[in-house]
Amino acid sequence: MITVSSLSIKRGGKIVIHDFDFSWHRGEKLVLLGPNGAGKSSFALALSGMISIESGEILIDSEPISDYDLPSLRKKIGIVFQDPESQFVTNDVRQEIAFGLSNIKLTREEIKTRVETIINNFTLNELTSRDPLKLSGGEKQLVAIASICAMSPDYLIFDEVTSLLDRATRERIYRLWEESSLSLLIITQNFDEIKYGDKVILIENGEISFESSATDLKEKSLITTDEIIFKRLLEKNKESIPQYERILEILG
Ligand SMILES: Nc1ncnc2c1ncn2[C@@H]1O[C@H](COP(=O)(O)OP(=O)(O)OP(=O)(O)O)[C@@H](O)[C@H]1O
Ligand SMILES: [Mg+2]
How big, in percent rounded to 5, are the helix, strand and coil portions of the chain?
45, 25, 30
- Ligand 1 atom nearest residue 189's Cα: 25
Residue 175 has pLDDT above 50, yes or no: yes
Q: Helix, strand or coil for residue 96?
A: helix
- Ligand 1 atom nearest residue 12's Cα: 4
Ligand minimally distant from the alpha carbon of residue 11: 1
Q: What is the pTM of this model?
A: 0.86
According to CATH, what is the number of the domain 2-84+154-219? 3.40.50.300
* 252 close to ligand 1 (CB < 6 Angstrom): no
Q: Helix, strand or coil for residue 108?
A: helix
pLDDT at 202: 84
Average pLDDT, the chain: 88
Residue 128 CB-density burial (10 A; 0-12 exposed, 13-18 middle, 19+ buried) = middle
Residue 189 has pLDDT above 70, yes or no: yes
Residue 122 has pLDDT above 80, yes or no: yes
The residue with greater pLDDT, 160 or 208, is: 160
* pLDDT, tens only, 70-79: 999 999 999 9
